[in-house]
Amino acid sequence: MPGALLQVEAVDAYYGRSHVLQGVSLEVGHGAAVALLGRNGAGKSTTLKSIMGIVAAARGRIRFDGAAIERLPPHRVARRGIAYVPEDRGIFASLTVDEHLRLNRARAGRRVPAESLYERFPLLAERRRHRGNELSGGEQQMLAIARALSFAPRLLILDEPTEGLAPIVVERIAAILHTLRAAGMTMLLVEQNYPFAIDLAERVYVLGKGRVRWQGTAADIDRSPDVRSTWLGV
């Protein structure tokens, strides 16, 4: 896919001597929503962390909008326009919703005004004076997504946004992400919730034991029970 917004090419990553990513390649086109699926321990989070510069890519290339980013530290990757919502959400217990959305404004330069984020997330507007530790899991996830969007990213990366959330809250997160997608936001999504993922994404990569084992459209994987049972267990 020439000209894809994100190109991960043959990336290897290690934790100590443990060879966790073994030649992982994937692409996310402009305006596309791509899901990265796989069992626990497959290397999904590590792939996202290598894109963000949190885990070093020992080999391989990562290009964003054509420029190599695999040697950049996380804050510089973020400044290029990649926003990352980590699996643990990264919400500060003692900061209010409002502070989360206004923090680092000076350093980040252009930031979306909190008021326009509150229009998209009315629940957060109601909770703006609440601290992180006073929010439900769903509210924390919404705040993590809102904070990511506050940097006006060109690529939104989400690590298991529905993890641990009640079905009704998962529906709300789905509605938010579908709206973003319709507005043209490019997304790379890691999920264990298979129906949620293939409903949102048009392309799917399946990771198993540190390698890409399958790739194709969401419609294709839905017609491939063997792929799902071998690599996803669903």
Ligand X SMILES: Nc1ncnc2c1ncn2[C@@H]1O[C@H](COP(=O)(O)OP(=O)(O)O)[C@@H](O)[C@H]1O
Closer by beta carbon to ligand X, 15 or else 92: 15
Size of residue set near Mg ion by CB under 5 A? 2
Task: Tell me which stretch binds ligand X (CB under 6 A): 43-51, 70-78, 142-150, 224-232.
Answer: 43-51
Query: Does 161 help bind ligand X (rule: CB under 6 A)?
Result: no
Query: Does 153 help bind ligand X (rule: CB under 6 A)?
Result: no
Beta strands in 66-185 (DSSP E): 67-68, 82-85, 155-159
Residue 41 touches which member of ligand X, Mg ion, none, C-beta under 5-8 Å by kind: ligand X
Spatial strand order of the sheet with 33-37 comes to 82-85, 155-159, 186-190, 33-37, 203-208, 211-217
Query: Does 15 help bind ligand X (rule: CB under 6 A)?
Result: yes
Q: Residue 205: in which H helix or E strand, if any? A: strand 203-208
Closer by beta carbon to ligand X, 43 or else 132: 43
Task: Tell me which stretch binds ligand X (CB under 6 A): 14-22, 94-102, 135-143, 223-231.
Answer: 14-22
CB neighbours of residue 123 within 10 Å: 16
The binder of ligand X chosen from 2, 40, 107, 183 (CB under 6 A): 40
Query: Does 45 help bind Mg ion (rule: CB under 5 A)?
Result: yes
Task: Tell me which stretch binds ligand X (CB under 6 A): 12-20, 65-73, 118-126, 178-186.
Answer: 12-20
**Cα 144 to Cα 165: distance, rounded to the nearest angstrom:** 14
Spatial strand order of the sheet with 67-68 comes to 18-28, 6-15, 59-64, 67-68
| Residues 6+ positions from 158 with CB-CB distance below 8 Å | 85, 145, 177, 187, 188, 189, 190
Task: Tell me which stretch binds Mg ion (CB under 5 A): 42-50, 105-113, 142-150, 215-223.
Answer: 42-50
Closer by beta carbon to ligand X, 41 or else 66: 41
Residue 94 touches which member of ligand X, Mg ion, none, C-beta under 5-8 Å by kind: none
Q: Residue 211: in which H helix or E strand, if any? A: strand 211-217
| Residues 6+ positions from 124 with CB-CB distance below 8 Å | 97, 101, 117, 118, 139, 142, 143, 146
Which of 87, 3, 23, 17 has its CA nearest to residue 52? Answer: 87
Query: Does 44 help bind ligand X (rule: CB under 6 A)?
Result: yes
Report the nearest approach of Mg ion to the CB of residue 230 (Å).
19
Query: Does 46 help bind Mg ion (rule: CB under 5 A)?
Result: no
The binder of ligand X chosen from 4, 5, 20, 114 (CB under 6 A): 20
Interacting residue ranges for Mg ion, rule: CB under 5 A: 44-45
Interacting residue ranges for ligand X, rule: CB under 6 A: 15, 18, 20, 38, 40-46
